[in-house]
Amino acid sequence: MSNSALDCEVLVVGAGPTGLIAADLLKRSGVDVRIVEMRAEATRESRAFAVQARTLELMQSMGLADQMLANGVMTTAVQMHVQGKFVGGMNTDRANAPDTPFPYILMIAQSETERILIEDLAALGVEVERGLEATELHQDADGAVATLRDDAGATSTIRCAYIVGADGSRSVVREAANIDFSGGTYAQNFLLADCKVDWPLDHHHFRVFMNGRRTGLFLPLGGSNLSRVMATDLTSDIDDNASTPLPLDLTELQDAFEKSICLPAKLSDPIWVTRYRAHHRAAEKYRAGRFFLAGDAAHIHSPAGGQGMNTGLQDAANLAWKLGAVLRRGADDELLDNYHDERKPVGEMLLRTTGKLFTAAAGQSGWKASIRDLAAKTFLPIVTRASKFHRKGFGNVSERNISYDLSRYVGEGPRWPSEGPRAGERAPNVRINNDLDMFELLKGYQFNIVAFSRLPLSSDESGKVRERLKALTDEFSFAGSHLIARTAFGFDENCIFANGPDVFDCYGVDSAENNQVVYLIRPDNYVAWRMTGFDFDACRRFLKEFGAHATSAQRQIAAE
C-alpha cells in the first residue's frame, strides 16, 4: 500500500490522555495522524488526577506545563494516618530534587488534562473524530485497515500504515492483535466521590488512612470546594460484567469514610460518585506487526502511587518519535520493536510496585491488618525522618528513576564519563546560566546534540566546534545542536556560556580527562548516546540509526 493510498499514516484509537498525547506528539514528529473515539464527548469527571513530575516535564517540552499548573493543585506531601493519627509520610520538599522544575505532585482532573491536550491538538490541525467505534481491524504487509461505525450504524474505513491502541482496558486493538491480557482483580471494593469535604484537616495534602480492614483516601482537587475521597466498601460486591455498578448514595460513603479516618467528616455537593474495583493486568506484548498498545490497553493496576495515566503518557512519548523516525526518515523497523523492549519492563515493574503498595495499605484484614497498623505506627515515624526515604520515594513516584537498557538505539561511546546521566537514563534539568536551564534548551520534542566543554575555548576553537555541529544538523535535520562551554576570553556567540560548575557537574564533565563530553538526547528526554571527547564522527554514526533527514519528496508527501 503506497503512501498515496493511505487515509493517514497513523490511526490512534482512543482519545483519553494517552491517545491525545500520542496524536499530539505524532503530529509534532511530522506524521499524518487521525484520532477516533467512540465517546460522543470528552471526559467530564476527574478520574485520573495525579500528574507526576515526569509528565509535567513532558508537558513543559510541549509548551503546556503552565496551563496544567494553572488548573491544578500542587501537593508536596503524602501523609499516612493510622486510626486517625498522623504517623509519617513522603514529603517532596525533603526529597532534594533540583533536577526537575516540578518537585511535587499536581492534582488536576483528567477532564482538564484532556481539554488542554484537545485544544493543543486542534491548534496543530488535528480534531478528535468522535462517535466512531472501531469494530474491525486488519493488517497485512502493506498496511492496516480499520472499520469504523458511527452512532447511526453507518460504517466507513480508514487505511493507514500503523494503528496505536489507546482504547483502554477493553481494547479493540489488543483484541484484533490477539495479544494476551493476563492478570486478575483485587478482592477489595471501594466507594469513591468527588465532592466537598468539611473536616478538621487541611485540603492540600494527599492523605492515606488505615484502620484495620478499612482504608480511606483523601486527595485535594480544588481547595476546600472539591476533593476526592475513597473508602473501603465492606457492604457490597461488584459484578465486573455488569454494565453499571450498584448505585451509591453519598451518605453510605460518608459513613465508610468516617470509620476509616476516625474523624468527623461531612461530605456534600457531589460531582461524581461510584463504586470501584481495581484490576491488575498486563499485555503480553506492546507490538504486533502494525498494531501498538499504550496506556490502559497495555497495563492496568491499582491506583496506588498515582502512576497509571502518567505511565500511559510516557508510553506515548516513547512511541511517537519512533514511528516518526520510521515513517519520515526511513529508520529501520527494528526501532519500533524497541518500543516494546523499553516500555514492557516499565509496565511490569509498575504492576509489581503498585500491587505491593496496594496490598500493604488496603489488602489486609483481621490480624494482618492489626499488625500492619502497629508496624506503621511504630516504624513510619522513624523511617520518614531520613532524607533518603523522601528522595527515593519521590524519585520512584515521579517516574524520574525509570531508565532503559543499552541496545542498538541506546549506547555509550568508546569512552564516557564515570559521572552524569548514563545512556538510557533521563536527562536531568540543571541551571546553565542566569537566563537558561537544560529543559528550556531541550524543549520541542526533538533530538538534541549537546556538546559540553569545561575546558575554556577560544573563539577560533568554539567556531570550529560549531561548524562541526552545524554539519551534523545539516545532515540530520531532525536534531538540534548546542555548545555549552567556558570561554577563554569574554563573550562568545558560538556557545552558551556556563557561569557556574553546576551544569558540568550534573553531566559528568570534570576538570581533568572528561573536560569535553557530547550527549545525544532523544525527544522523550532520555540519553541515547554519550562520549568523552568531541568525536562528532562517532556521533554521526550513531545518529544514522534514527534515519536521515526527510527528502524533499517525503516533505511533499507530508504536506499533502
Across the range 262-269, mean pLDDT stands at 96
Residue 280: is its pLDDT beyond 90? no
- Please tell me the distance from the alpha carbon of residue 391 to that of residue 395, in angstroms, as a whole number: 6
Name 11's bridge partners: 34, 163
- Kindly indicate the confidence band of residue 261, based on its pLDDT and cuts at 50, 70 and 90: very high
pLDDT at 556: 40
Q: Where are the domains of the chain?
A: 3-42+109-180+284-363, 73-107+181-279+375-402, 411-552
- Residues 471-525 have pLDDT tens digits of 999 999 999 999 999 998 888 999 999 999 999 999 999 988 899 999 999 999 9
- Please tell me the distance from the alpha carbon of residue 503 to that of residue 435, in angstroms, as a whole number: 13
Residues making up the chain, counted from first to last: 560
Residue 358: is its pLDDT beyond 80? no
Checking DSSP bridges between strand 77-82 and strand 206-211, what pairing results, if any? parallel
pLDDT at 304: 65
pLDDT at 203: 93
Among 19, 7, 35, 9, residue whose Cα is nearest residue 328:
9
Across the range 215-239, mean pLDDT stands at 85
2/119: higher pLDDT:
119
C-alpha R_g of the chain: 25
CA triplet 331, 332, 335: central angle to 5 degrees? 90
- Please tell me the distance from the alpha carbon of residue 172 to that of residue 182, in angstroms, as a whole number: 16
61-70, 271-280, 388-397: lowest mean pLDDT where?
Answer: 271-280
- Residues 369-378 have pLDDT tens digits of 888 889 889 9
Contact 90, 75 (CB under 8 A): no
Residue 555: is its pLDDT beyond 60? no
pLDDT at 278: 79
pLDDT at 554: 37
pLDDT at 149: 97
pLDDT at 559: 38
pLDDT at 558: 37
Percent of the residues in the chain that have a pLDDT greater than 70, as a whole number: 93
- Three-state SS at 203: coil
- Kindly indicate the confidence band of residue 48, based on its pLDDT and cuts at 50, 70 and 90: confident
Among 546, 491, 51, residue whose Cα is nearest residue 305:
51
Place of cell 491488618: 369
Question: In 326-473, at which residue ranges do the beta strands (DSSP E only) sit?
Answer: 411-412, 431-433, 436-437, 447-457
- Residues 5-40 have pLDDT tens digits of 899 999 999 999 999 999 999 999 999 999 999 998
- Beta-carbon-side half-sphere exposure of residue 407 (alpha carbons within 13 Å): 18
- Please tell me the distance from the alpha carbon of residue 148 to that of residue 36, in angstroms, as a whole number: 9
pLDDT at 170: 94
- Kindly indicate the confidence band of residue 552, based on its pLDDT and cuts at 50, 70 and 90: very low
Contact 394, 90 (CB under 8 A): yes
Chain-centre distance for alpha carbon 496? 30
2-6, 389-393, 497-501: lowest mean pLDDT where?
Answer: 2-6
Q: In 10 A of CB 156, how many CB atoms?
A: 11
Residue 239: is its pLDDT beyond 70? no
pLDDT at 513: 87
Topology given in CATH for the domain delimited by 411-552: Glutaredoxin (3.40.30)
Contact 328, 28 (CB under 8 A): no
Phi, psi of 353 (to 5 degrees): -70, -45
Residue 180: is its pLDDT beyond 70? yes
pLDDT at 491: 87
- Residues 78-100 have pLDDT tens digits of 999 999 999 999 999 999 999 99
pLDDT at 113: 95
Contact 298, 286 (CB under 8 A): yes
pLDDT at 382: 93
User: Domain 3-42+109-180+284-363 maps to which CATH number in 3.10.20.310, 3.50.50.60, 3.40.190.10, 3.30.2350.10?
Assistant: 3.50.50.60
Residue 123: is its pLDDT beyond 90? yes
Which residues 6+ apart lie within 8 Å of 314 measured at CB? Answer: 54, 55, 58, 343, 346, 399, 402, 524
C-alpha cell at 206: 494527599
Rounded mean pLDDT of the chain?
91
- Please tell me the distance from the alpha carbon of residue 447 to that of residue 30, in angstroms, as a whole number: 14
Q: What is the DSSP letter of 224?
A: B
The percent helix, strand, coil of the chain (3-state, each to 5) is 35, 30, 35
Across the range 359-375, mean pLDDT stands at 79
- Kindly indicate the confidence band of residue 305, based on its pLDDT and cuts at 50, 70 and 90: low
pLDDT at 450: 98
Contact 462, 492 (CB under 8 A): yes
- Please tell me the distance from the alpha carbon of residue 202 to that of residue 75, in angstroms, as a whole number: 12
- Residues 136-168 have pLDDT tens digits of 999 999 999 999 999 999 999 999 999 999 999
Task: Give, to the nearest 10 degrees, the angle between helix 17-28 and helix 110-123.
Answer: 20
Among 26, 3, 33, 17, residue whose Cα is nearest residue 126:
33
- Kindly indicate the confidence band of residue 237, based on its pLDDT and cuts at 50, 70 and 90: low
Q: In 10 A of CB 242, how many CB atoms?
A: 8
- Please tell me the distance from the alpha carbon of residue 559 to that of residue 301, in angstroms, as a whole number: 41
Residue 303: is its pLDDT beyond 90? no
The architecture in CATH of the region 73-107+181-279+375-402 reads 2-Layer Sandwich (3.30)
Sign of CA dihedral 428, 342, 95, 70: positive
Question: In 325-420, at which residue ranges do the beta strands (DSSP E only) sit?
Answer: 411-412
Q: What is the 3-state secondary structure (H, E, C) of 404-443?
A: CCCECCEEECCCCCCCCCCCCCECCCCEEECCEEHHHHHC
39-48, 196-205, 375-384, 507-516: lowest mean pLDDT where?
Answer: 39-48
